[in-house]
Structure 1
Amino acid sequence: MSVLSAIAVVSLLAWGWLLLGQGQFFRTDQRLPPHPEPREWPDVVVVVPARDEAAVLPVSLPSLLAQEYPGRASVVLVDDGSTDGTGALARALAEEHGGLPLLVLRPGEPEPGWTGKLWALRHGIAQARSGAADPEYLLLTDADIAHAPDSLRTLVAAARANGLDLVSQMARLRVASFWERLVVPAFVWFFCQLYPFRRVNRPTARTAAAAGGCVLLSTAAVDRAGLPDAVRQAVIDDVSLARAVKRSGGRIWLGLAGGVVSVRPYPRLADLWRMVARSAYAQLLYSPLLLAGTVSGLLLVYVVPSVALAAGILGGDPLAAAAGGAAKAVMIGTYLPMLRYYRCSPLLSLLLPLTALLYLGMTVDSAVQHYRGRGSAWKGRVYARPGAAPDSG
């Protein structure tokens, strides 16, 4: 057995494990569970952290204000130090469109030990719960997320009917430009490999994750898990929040969305690069060892099959060609459902090795920026590696 064929066989074994042992990550059927409507609708407050979001608010905020919710609901937008008039624009949109009542807060710069988003959420949640009637649920949603008119209604119904403390939907990201079509479906697919939705949704499984763009959270779970203070330093705040809820005994659910979409454009590769690189090294716990393992794994799993197939055919190594071809077939087969979900051409599956190399570059760049003191940078803020604060993620 040649070295190439041995490596190809290892790659095939890796794909066999992903296919059979990683919670059927490739399935895209995790949608909101059955949700008969409750007899009485609980109070809900929507909390929107927003920093320099004037470009997307005219599309996203009216969709929240127009929610067709039978109970009492309101919106709290937390202007996190914006310099583009985000807060004033939000008030103007509320006056223009009407709908749910809107309150705009501006809490000031985050205290040491807090990320900006979680600092904003802290103040938004505190404001939401400051009245005499404490809401039963909070909808935490990003400023670039647009919701279908029945989004809040269906989220609450699903949570109530299934006894869920956290219901999160992975918003459908934009795939208009070539780079978005190349990178975005793979981004969600990789996320599903790390956090298989079916496993997340199993109460007995330890795997926990959420998609931060759309998280319905019970206030009872907030109190039990000590949120958001318990995860105040988390750069990957959605996953940390879900872990805190599950560890405190709460039930969580994560799935793909139909009527929840991101309106933020990423037309250039540089835009997508920054989006991924800002948190990639944090996902690896700032560990050089995990970084090395990730780089090796990306090459072994996503690049080796194509190289082995081509080199095996050209070099007369049938075992390398067969193992590489089989691994590539499994890789493409598991990616096609995500491409269908995003309504993208199945031919993009042939470019997965290129996409993987891009993610490899983004991950390495994330580590380089961290050691240069510019890691986890986003919208003018740089977050250091978490230090003394307890890790609840």
Structure 2
Amino acid sequence: MILTYLCVLSLLLWTLLLLHPDQPHLFSESLPEKQPLKNAPKVSIVIPCRNEEQILETTLQTLTNLDYDNYEIILVDDCSTDATRTIAEKQLHKPHVIVSGKEVPEGWAGKMWALEQGIANATGEWILLSDADIAHNEHSLSQIVSLAVHQEYDLVSVMVSLSTKSFWEKLLVPAFVYFFKILYPFRAIRSKKRKVAAAAGGCVLIKKDVLQNIGGIRAIHGELIDDVALAKKVKSSGYNISLWLDKNIRSIRSYIGLEGLWAMVARSAFTELKYSYMRLLMCTFGLVVLFMIPVYTMMTGIFTSHNPFVLLGSSAYITMMITYLPAIRFYNVNLVYALLFPFIGVLYMLMTLDSARKYTFGVRATWKDRSYKN
């Protein structure tokens, strides 16, 4: 009876997600096409870079070929020990600026400190925070700025297309964005009446005076999940924000094996749960019910020839896959990966548990060769 109730609960939860008015499982929030701007405001593109010699040349080429007329690039060399600065100096000339980053002060996250130093040199009305691995298309800045101006957004963020070349990327990346959208429905983010707020840190356009009014980057200086923290700060201060998807702005950073993706998720998963063991317990129970119970019920029914179990478990499993298909289609990966969704869910559960384990035993999160307090 307990298994039946749990599987019914799983089926109910997947059905509710499928019918949710925010439709967070759909990948339909594409960045609108650009609209004409009479007076294009100046944009300062701030890029924090730490040991990015392998990808920086490609990303800078895309940024120097934008069809937007009024912008500057401010690259912050965050104490790199490779050829990052040399590459930047070859490609960036006036009006673009290269800032020599200083060592990170106590209490600051490395990326936040780099952004702080870059923004101090910004002369634009708007600031685009763009990661070093983000390859823009020629129209992307025009699209984002025109959207912000015409629809009166104070912050516009874009969830760029992540790499799905390797097996592990195909397995885990669509689910990463899927789970993010479930946690932070894009429709709710855009609503002025809802408190839900989030951004994707690789591509964030914000008004300079709005950033100053909320206390600048200093207001989120120690945050590990800095993009969400920034969006929450902006929206809670009464400003309008939005988050979109775009296939044409892409990350060129690749993760060949499981280790890199695992580290990316585990670095901040327990932070997302606000370091609460009760939330961790509830999250683990929820993931077990959602991903493991349907498969277990279905397989139990098959091996025991108990048809009601087969029907119930397969119904939950199929509903689960239906919610995941838009993510699979958006990233153009084989539909077989939808069949593996229960396994993917279990992997994310293990990453979350590993994040909590590291926090409990004092293992510091590491990123860009730096360690941080959780």
> Distance between the aligned counterparts of 1:164 and 1:34, measured in 2?
16
More displaced, 112-121 or 16-25? Answer: 16-25
- Determine the structure 1 residue equivalent to 2:172: 183
Q: In 2, are the aligned partners of 1:367 and 1:375 still within 8 Å (CA)?
A: no
Instruction: Identify unmatched segments of 5+ residues in structure 1.
Output: 130-134, 386-393
Post-superposition Cα deviations, 1:95-116, rounded to whole Å, max 9, x if no partner, equal: 6xxxx73211123122112101
Q: In 2, are the aligned partners of 1:211 and 1:238 still within 8 Å (CA)?
A: yes
- Determine the structure 2 residue equivalent to 1:104: 98
Post-superposition Cα deviations, 1:108-152, rounded to whole Å, max 9, x if no partner, equal: 1221121011111111111104xxxxx221110000000001111
Correspondences of 1:253-268 after superposition (within 5 Å): 253-268=242-257
> Distance between the aligned counterparts of 2:258 and 2:221, measured in 1?
30
- Determine the structure 2 residue equivalent to 1:118: 112
- Determine the structure 2 residue equivalent to 1:8: 7
Q: CA deviation at 1:189?
A: 0.6
Correspondences of 1:1-80 after superposition (within 5 Å): 2-21=1-20, 23-33=22-32, 35-70=34-69, 72-80=70-78
The normalised TM-score by structure 2 is 0.96
- Determine the structure 1 residue equivalent to 2:372: 383
Q: 1:35 to 1:69 in 2, by over 3 A?
A: closer
Q: In 1, are the aligned partners of 2:267 and 2:366 still within 8 Å (CA)?
A: yes
Q: In 1, are the aligned partners of 2:34 and 2:142 still within 8 Å (CA)?
A: no
Q: CA deviation at 1:20?
A: 2.7
The normalised TM-score by structure 1 is 0.91
Post-superposition Cα deviations, 1:304-341, rounded to whole Å, max 9, x if no partner, equal: 11111121232244443333222212111111111111
Q: CA deviation at 1:35?
A: 4.6
> Distance between the aligned counterparts of 1:109 and 1:172, measured in 2?
31
> Distance between the aligned counterparts of 1:17 and 1:364, measured in 2?
26
> Distance between the aligned counterparts of 2:4 and 2:10, measured in 1?
10
Q: CA deviation at 1:258?
A: 2.6
More displaced, 8-17 or 31-40? Answer: 31-40
> Distance between the aligned counterparts of 1:270 and 1:121, measured in 2?
27
> Distance between the aligned counterparts of 2:47 and 2:211, measured in 1?
16
Q: CA deviation at 1:179?
A: 0.8
Q: In 1, are the aligned partners of 2:46 and 2:74 still within 8 Å (CA)?
A: yes
Q: Does 1:370 align with 2:369?
A: no
**Number of equivalenced pairs:** 374
More displaced, 156-165 or 274-283? Answer: 274-283
Q: Which amino acid aligns with 2:101?
A: P
Q: Secondary structure at the match of 1:337?
A: helix
- Determine the structure 2 residue equivalent to 1:325: 314
> Distance between the aligned counterparts of 1:275 and 1:336, measured in 2?
24
Correspondences of 1:238-253 after superposition (within 5 Å): 238-253=227-242
Q: Which amino acid aligns with 1:29?
A: S
Q: CA deviation at 1:174?
A: 0.6
Q: In 1, are the aligned partners of 2:78 and 2:102 still within 8 Å (CA)?
A: yes
Give the superposed CA RMSD.
1.6
Post-superposition Cα deviations, 1:229-272, rounded to whole Å, max 9, x if no partner, equal: 11111100011111111011111110111321000010111111
Post-superposition Cα deviations, 1:154-209, rounded to whole Å, max 9, x if no partner, equal: 11111101001111110100111111100111111111111111111112111111
Q: Which amino acid aligns with 2:11?
A: L
Q: Does 1:290 align with 2:288?
A: no
Q: 1:33 to 1:205 in 2, by over 3 A?
A: farther
- Determine the structure 1 residue equivalent to 2:82: 84
Q: Which amino acid aligns with 1:88?
A: T
Q: Secondary structure at the match of 2:363?
A: coil
Question: 146, 149, 167: which is aligned to 1:160?
Answer: 149
Q: Secondary structure at the match of 2:298?
A: helix
Question: 91, 94, 103: which is aligned to 1:93?
Answer: 91
> Distance between the aligned counterparts of 1:278 and 1:22, measured in 2?
31
> Distance between the aligned counterparts of 2:21 and 2:86, measured in 1?
46
Q: Secondary structure at the match of 2:121?
A: helix
Moved over 6 A (4+): none
Identity percentage of aligned residues: 40
Instruction: Identify unmatched segments of 5+ residues in structure 2.
Output: none
> Distance between the aligned counterparts of 2:274 and 2:304, measured in 1?
41
> Distance between the aligned counterparts of 1:78 and 1:229, measured in 2?
17
Q: Which amino acid aligns with 1:377?
A: T
More displaced, 330-339 or 302-311? Answer: 302-311
More displaced, 48-57 or 104-113? Answer: 104-113
> Distance between the aligned counterparts of 1:116 and 1:3, measured in 2?
48
Post-superposition Cα deviations, 1:248-304, rounded to whole Å, max 9, x if no partner, equal: 111111011132100001011111111111111111111222122222111111121
Q: CA deviation at 1:22?
A: 6.7
Q: Which amino acid aligns with 2:119?
A: I
> Distance between the aligned counterparts of 1:278 and 1:293, measured in 2?
20
Q: Which amino acid aligns with 2:207?
A: S
Post-superposition Cα deviations, 1:23-73, rounded to whole Å, max 9, x if no partner, equal: 211111112246522211101110001111111102111111211112x21
- Determine the structure 1 residue equivalent to 2:212: 223
Q: In 1, are the aligned partners of 2:32 and 2:143 still within 8 Å (CA)?
A: no
